[in-house]
Amino acid sequence: MSKQLKTAGIYTLGCKVNQYESQAISEELTRNGFRVISPACVCDAYIINTCTVTAESDRKARQFIRRAIGKSSNAIIIVTGCMAQSAPRAVAEIEGVDAIIGNTQKLLCAKVANTLVSEGQKRTSPLMLVESMENADFEKMSITEFERTRAYVKIEDGCESKCTYCIIPSARGKIRSKPMAEVIDEVTELTRNGCREIVLTGIETASYGKERKDEDLVKLLEQVDMIDGIGRVRLGSLDPSFIKPDVVKRLAGVKCLAPHFHLSLQSGSSRILALMKRKYNAEQAMRAIELLREHIPSVKLTTDIIVGFPDESEEDFEQTAEFLKKAKFLSAHIFPYSKRQDTPAASMPSQISKEEKSRRVHALTQVQEQIRMEILREELETQPIKQVLFEAWRDGFATGHTADFLEVSAPTVRPLHAVTASVRVTSYNANGLLGEII
For residue 321, is pLDDT > 90?
A: yes
Number of domains observed in the structure of the chain: 3
Instruction: Using pLDDT thresholds of 50, 70 and 90, give the confidence band for residue 319.
Output: very high
Last residue of a domain, one of 129, 159, 190: 129
For residues 64 and 171, membership in a common domain is answered with: no
CATH value at residue 209:
3.80.30.20
Are 87 and 103 a contacting pair, CB within 8 Å? no
pLDDT tens digits, one per residue of 197-210: 999 999 999 999 99
For residue 298, tell me if it sits in a domain. yes
- pLDDT given at position 301: 98
Same domain, 389 and 371: no
Predicted local confidence at residue 125, as pLDDT: 95
235 pLDDT more than 60: yes
What backbone torsions phi and psi does residue 150 show, to the nearest 5 degrees? Answer: -115, 140
Read off the pLDDT of residues 148-173 as tens digits, 9 standing for 90 and up. 789 999 999 999 999 999 999 999 99
Across the range 366-379, mean pLDDT stands at 98
| Structural domain includes residue 135 | no
Mean pLDDT of 314-343: 97
Identify the CA nearest to 151 among candidates 227, 91, 231: 231
Q: Is the pTM of this model over 0.85?
A: yes
Q: What is the pLDDT of residue 342?
A: 92
Q: Give the domain-ending residue among 98, 129, 160.
A: 129
Q: Are residues 228 and 296 in the same domain?
A: yes
What's the burial of 311, exposed, middle or buried (CB within 10 Å: 0-12/13-18/19+)?
middle
**400, part of any domain:** yes
38 and 23, same structural domain?
A: yes
96 dihedral zone (left: phi>0; alpha: psi -120 to 50; beta)? left
User: Does residue 139 sit within a domain?
Assistant: no
Task: For the beta carbon of residue 415, count every other beta carbon within 10 angstroms.
Answer: 13
Instruction: Please give the Cα distance from 275 to 271 (Å, whole number).
Output: 6
Q: What's the pLDDT at 4?
A: 60
Provide the percentage of residues in the chain whose pLDDT is more than 70: 99
Same domain, 341 and 372: yes
Give the pLDDT confidence score for residue 213 in this predicted structure: 83
- Full residue range of the structural domain in which residue 188 is found: 150-380
Q: What is the 3-state secondary structure (H, E, C) of 377-412?
A: HHHHHHCCEEEEEEEEEECCEEEEECCCCCEEEEEC
188 and 54 fall within a common domain: no
Clarify whether residues 318 and 362 are in a common domain. Answer: yes
CATH of the domain at 84: 3.40.50.2300
* Residue 14: inside a domain: yes
In this predicted model, what pLDDT tens digit does every residue of 293-304 receive, in sequence order?
999 999 999 999
**pLDDT given for residue 1 in this prediction:** 43
Averaged pLDDT, 216-231: 98
pLDDT in tens, 93-141: 999 999 999 999 999 999 999 999 999 999 999 999 999 999 899 999 9
Would the pLDDT of 410 be above 60?
A: yes
> Tell me: the pLDDT tens digits for 46-85?
999 999 999 999 999 999 999 999 999 999 999 999 999 9
Statement to judge: residues 423 and 323 lie in one domain: no
pLDDT in tens, 35-57: 999 999 999 999 999 999 999 99
Mean residue pLDDT across the chain: 96
Looking at the fold, whether 40 and 176 belong to one and the same domain comes out as no
Q: Which residues pair with 201 in a beta bridge?
A: 154
| Closest CA relative to residue 150, chosen from 301, 30, 260 | 260
State residue 148's pLDDT score: 78
pLDDT on residue 101: 98
Instruction: Give the model's pLDDT for residue 2.
Output: 44
Residues 219 and 108 in one domain: no
Residues 241, 288, single domain; the answer is yes
DSSP for residue 274: H
Same domain, 14 and 69: yes
